[in-house]
Homo-oligomer: A and B are copies of this chain.
Amino acid sequence: MKYQVDSGQIFITLARGDFINKSLEAVAVKEKLTSGWVHGLGAIDYCELGLYAFENQSYIKKEFLDEYELVNLTGNITLKDGNPFIHSHITIADRQFSAMGGHLFDGKISAAGEFVIVPGNIQITRKFDQNIGLALWCLGEKNA
């Protein structure tokens, strides 16, 4: 994994075998990010996806072991327990070009992995919400 810091964007390239969330989190730690948005695309040969089932307050999980195009990664960086944390969702496509998607626990790059982080200047912390069963963003400034 290599990355380059530009004004307003951090460009990141992952190599075959690199894990996505783990790598993006390493950048966030090294650059001391406290908020930000993440986009990406590439090709993977492993991922574990989740769907959040509200009634059980837990994730239905599934591992995908074939080759897929990583059609889109959408995610963000916040602080969880004081450390940079990546929350990302992905869309993947198989050899028939059928798309699947979900919450990304993590996935492994097979060919290219091209990502960008758009860092924020504010601090967004996550706090566990009892009613939802997830650690949600704490933002207090404005209500619309």
**Oligomeric state, in number of copies?**
3
| A72 touching B74 in the complex, CB below 8 Å, given contacts A52-B43, A141-B2 | yes
Query: Given known contacts A41-B74, A52-B67, A112-B132, what 5 new A-B pairs fall within 8 Å (CB)?
Result: A6-B120, A41-B76, A72-B101, A91-B99, A97-B102
- Measured between C-beta atoms, what is the minimum distance from A24 to chain B in Å? 9
Contacts of A12 in B (CB 8 A): 139
A111 contacts partner chain B, Cβ-Cβ < 8 Å: yes
Tell me, rounded to whole Å, the shortest Cβ–Cβ distance linking A18 to chain B: 10
| Per-residue B-contact encoding for A58-83, CB less than 8 Å = 1, 0 else | 00101010011111111110000000
* Assembled-state Cα–Cα distance A45/B54 (Å): 9
- Nearest-neighbour CB distance to chain B for A100, whole angstroms, equals 5
Known pairs A93-B100, A144-B1; A53 contacts B67 (CB<8 A): yes
Total interface residues on A, CB under 8 Å, equals 82
A104 to chain B, nearest CB (A): 9
B6-A35 in contact (CB<8A): yes
Task: State the CA gap A51–B97 with chains docked (Å).
Answer: 7
Rounded to whole Å, the gap between the CB of A75 and the closest CB of chain B is 7
Whether B103 lies near A69 (C-beta < 8 A) is yes
Task: Determine if A90 is an interface residue (Cβ-Cβ < 8 Å).
Answer: yes
